[in-house]
Structure 1
Amino acid sequence: MYMQKKGTLLQLSVVIVGLLSLLPLQAASVKPKLVLQITVDQLRGDMPTAYLTKMGKGGFRYLLNEGVVYKDAHHNHANTETIVGHATLATGALPAVHGMIGNVWYDDKLERLVYNVEDSRYPLLSANGDVNQKTELDPTQRTAKSSGRSPSNIQVSTFSDELMIASNGKAKVFGVSVKDRGAISMAGHMGKAFWFSKKAGEFVTSSYYYDKYPEWVASWNETKPTKKYHQKSWQLSQAQKGYVFAKQDDQEWETKLPGFGRTFPHQYGDMSNAYFNTFLTLSPAGDELTLDFAKAVVNNEQLGQDDITDYLSVSFSSTDYVGHIFGPSSLEAEDNMLRLDSTLANLFKFIDKKVGLDNTLIVLSADHGAAEVPAYLSSLGMKTKAVAPKEWDKAPSMEALKKQFGFDTALIKSYFHPYIYLDRALIAQRKLSLKQVQKAVAVEVSKFDGVALAVTSSDIEDGNTPQDYLHTLVVNNHSKNRSGDVYVVLEAHRFVADMEGLTVAATHGSPWGYDTFVPLIFAGFKIDDEIIYDRVSTTDIAVTLSAVLGIKAPSGAQGKILKKVLDTD
């Protein structure tokens, strides 16, 4: 009788175990020890496979062969800039909700442009880390009046915030990037963020996160991590004849920075050179430094070493800088992709050793895609050129509007793509209708060369915009308190090449497919490989990660759960 009951219980336990294996992932007791979110700045959706035949096994091949690969993932907002995309990836919300509508926006109260993560209340901890410097490549940072930084401008919670809330603050959450906005946005309001200071040549943070640097960070910086590049150069990683762009190392449209040049090898020069650290970020070295610091975070903060899920965001920035300076279709961009592949393979090997890839949920995407250089397209037969908004206010039609409205100064107070800002104080002083002036300016601007669409903020807020694709993306980007008076959409393959005096080869920031199209891959923890061709949105990432962990989605999240990621059959 006892043996019979024992056999019955054994059979029942087998059945129960079998049934448990069929439960959705979020219902299971086992959760990943680490969520590793990788964002590659300016990685258009086609790029991971463009040079795959020359790549190894451990980087992009691992993701593509072992992961759930979404082949048609897009951002659903119009201004495809760095902070806008990063904040969307972090929050699962559209810019209209998370509030980060551009790398900069005009603040009426301060009467100046505001950099997205600047915050004078929280100065940098490093005395050498002030970002207000002439050697800074990114001109958007020059708008910041303080080196202080925080995530305070993000108006909703991030996935990493929700992870902290669900764990009662026990989860360890870190964001690492060359760019401050790339690290800060992903670490959220509750995590810790570190970014690379081009002036100091080290990774820095602000007093928002710490009263003083952890000892391991200070020690890491004291090793002078950039020293290994002293008097070295960026050289091709493979034989040049095997590259797609092997014969196009010197293209006339590439930006030729003094000392760095536009042909291989690109010299980093002496550490004492004011541009040394900037040159590092214009090459794969920027990603290598980011990887090294991310490893130090994992080692010293013991990420993934207990039963509470930790979070690490690594945002690689070199692809963006290389794309801006040389264009996405260049020998430099091609070699950077090959070196990025090696960097990813290095990261995955390290994580496998420290945490285990089976214990790590990996998601890779991008903050935006990339536009081709107009001159490159022209060389292939598509005639196009850059746009010059600085000339708009001087056009005869705008002069006529000034006369009509009684303006003796500029009607367009400033233009910082994609927004036109009008002189609202003067409009109010002359008792003019803001809506009327916005509409009149939009009508005239829409006639200028290279402009596809000009949408007023008043029309967006009044619900008077068409329901077509482009207008929808513009509306998704609108924040009442931050957006400008008129949103300008340039024609496809047209863009502003001048970035506050720095002429770049290519840029991004449009609602066209090449800028919204990004990779989206989940791999690692209990992920079965599959290729999915359904259209998905980058807002889906944060809610899917939340579902995997069984926690609530970020407060402004608007995406849908990607069910295949939760399918463990």
Structure 2
Amino acid sequence: TLATGAHPSHHGMVGNLWFDRETGVVTYNVEDSRYRLLSAGADVDEDAEIDPTQRAANTEGRSPAAILVSTFSDELRSSNGGRSKAIGVSVKDRGAITLAGHAGTAYWFSKAGSEFVTSNYYLEQYPEWVNAWNLKQLPQRYANTAWELSNDPGSYLFGASDDREWETDVAGFGRVFPHAYGDGTSPYFTTWLTLSPAGDELVLDFARAAVTGEKLGQSGHTDFLAVSFSSTDYVGHVFGPSSLEAEENILRLDRTLAELFRFVDEQVGLEHTLIVLSADHGGPDSPGYLNSLKIPAGYIDPEAWDREAAIERIKNRFGIEGKLIEQYAHPYLYLSSEVTGNSGIDRNALEAAIVNELSKFEGVSLAVSSAALREGDVPDTALYRSVLNNFHSKRSGDIYIVFEPNWFINDFDGLTVAATHGSPWQYDTYVPIVFAGAGLEPKTIDRRVFTTDIAPTLSAYLRIKPPSGAQGNVLREVLD
């Protein structure tokens, strides 16, 4: 959405994962078997990978092919015959690929290979500056060190709350400071780096190498550097937003951003640079923290639901034999091919019956059938509009499930997390949007704006076409 100015209903990326009805398997949104990684041994290590969406990929190949509309970087490069350069950098493959778009070049950190990689969708071989960076083996500088607090614990908001029972100890990384990285030989070493400010620091160092290696900002044409600092996401999942780890991570991220801006100012000049800062999502707090303040919240355990009885009632009513449900890929429930391929079943009535049963389960606020979404047969409220914005007829499931505010599933294929995101509630969509540099005068805007506004605003700023599916508005304050 940041890259396209469009909602998932238009750009097609309805989640990190979705169930592909044609192949019959769950698909990771940037996987593509046609394009191999340029580095051998850089694929996901299934034994050590904790990111369930990356682990679900069926191939090591990666590309932006699943993005169904153009991105800002696509329009920038096509506006001048490809003279502009567009580089995306992130710890996560999906973070770099979506921002680089179809026409840019994406680089991401391979935890298995302990280096930054790309696929042959983008390049046939690495530029020399990439090889030089990887040869430095900078991740190893964290071996035999630890993630420690920058200041005295008493100076932090959560300084007295270092060890919370809902925090996750990932493979021995611990729940209290200092978090030791070990001697660098553990299969989880690079994972631990990404669960801390070290992940963003590696991204920063690689981004600096990209600026100098690609000579960004030196050609007379506008270049685009998109940097996704994703350790904040991992820290939030593992320790929770209101944790000492999250507080320390934000402090360190602030310093990382300051160093990036200092470097760009030195190389290009901030007066020649437009900075945009935002996020792809917000998130709820950990239920344990909210409960301590008497705020209702909790984890949802679908295993505790009386699912079998509900399924039997539906199967008996509609004469269904065999499997009813194929897959749940958040936030969608997918019906089995045995059901969807049976022309004798009234699909609209079946989906309505499932919605009725789901609505009885603890923690479910809303369930909406794809038939209702496809036909627009839903109330015109903010919540339903958010659900519609995510619905893509070819990729979305048969039932969209919305959990109660501050309630969510926290079991990711065996990894229990403190908090997660992916709902239409306000906390998941409340993010900063900051434009700075390039001579902009400081302002604070208190009207409601949207992340879909960023790409159209950048396009208007450069007087180029907006991305093909863009739905947002131009933020006039940036242009005036």
Structure 2 length normalisation: TM-score?
A: 0.98
The amino acid that maps onto 2:386 is: L
CA distance in 1, matches of 2:223, 2:169: 42
The amino acid that maps onto 1:423 is: S
The aligned counterpart of 1:566 is: 479
Q: 5+ residue gaps in structure 1?
A: 1-87
Higher RCO (CA 8 Å, separation ≥ 6 residues): 1
CA distance in 2, matches of 1:428, 1:328: 44
**1:301 aligns to 2:214 (yes or no):** yes
The CA deviation at 1:408 is 4.5
Q: Aligned-residue CA RMSD in angstroms?
A: 1.2
**1:379 aligns to 2:292 (yes or no):** yes
The aligned counterpart of 1:178 is: 91
CA distance in 1, matches of 2:343, 2:222: 59
The amino acid that maps onto 1:564 is: E
The answer to which of 420-429 and 312-321 deviates more is 420-429
The amino acid that maps onto 2:341 is: A
CA contact (8 A) 2:287 2:297 kept: yes
Describe the SS at the equivalent of 2:341: helix
CA contact (8 A) 2:70 2:467 kept: yes
| Aligned equivalent of 2:229, options 289, 312, 316 | 316
Describe the SS at the equivalent of 1:261: coil
**1:434 aligns to 2:434 (yes or no):** no
Describe the SS at the equivalent of 1:199: coil
**1:202 aligns to 2:115 (yes or no):** yes
CA distance in 2, matches of 1:270, 1:183: 29
Deviations 1:393-438 (A, max 9, x none): 7342332112222344442222121101111333433721222211
Change (3 A) 1:456 1:132: farther
The amino acid that maps onto 1:302 is: K
The aligned counterpart of 1:73 is: none
CA distance in 2, matches of 1:235, 1:261: 12
Describe the SS at the equivalent of 1:312: strand
CA distance in 1, matches of 2:192, 2:240: 16
CA contact (8 A) 2:14 2:396 kept: yes
Describe the SS at the equivalent of 2:447: strand
Pairwise mapping of residues 19-168 of structure 1 onto structure 2 (< 5 A)?
A: 88-168=1-81
**1:477 aligns to 2:390 (yes or no):** yes
Describe the SS at the equivalent of 2:448: strand
The CA deviation at 1:383 is 3.4
CA contact (8 A) 2:296 2:406 kept: no
The amino acid that maps onto 1:236 is: L
Describe the SS at the equivalent of 1:530: coil
The amino acid that maps onto 2:147 is: W
CA distance in 1, matches of 2:50, 2:171: 13
Describe the SS at the equivalent of 1:163: helix
CA distance in 2, matches of 1:271, 1:410: 46
The aligned counterpart of 1:52 is: none
The aligned counterpart of 1:549 is: 462
Describe the SS at the equivalent of 1:241: helix
The answer to which of 432-441 and 540-549 deviates more is 432-441
Describe the SS at the equivalent of 1:518: coil
Describe the SS at the equivalent of 2:299: coil
CA distance in 2, matches of 1:534, 1:422: 41
CA distance in 2, matches of 1:384, 1:157: 39
CA distance in 2, matches of 1:499, 1:301: 38
The answer to which of 133-142 and 484-493 deviates more is 133-142
**1:354 aligns to 2:267 (yes or no):** yes
**1:462 aligns to 2:375 (yes or no):** yes
The aligned counterpart of 1:417 is: 330
Q: 5+ residue gaps in structure 2?
A: none
The answer to which of 378-387 and 426-435 deviates more is 426-435
The CA deviation at 1:307 is 1.4
Describe the SS at the equivalent of 1:89: coil
The aligned counterpart of 2:105 is: 192
CA distance in 2, matches of 1:133, 1:384: 32
Pairwise mapping of residues 504-543 of structure 1 onto structure 2 (< 5 A)?
A: 504-543=417-456
Structure 1 length normalisation: TM-score?
A: 0.83
Amino-acid identity (%): 56
The aligned counterpart of 1:53 is: none
Pairwise mapping of residues 8-27 of structure 1 onto structure 2 (< 5 A)?
A: none
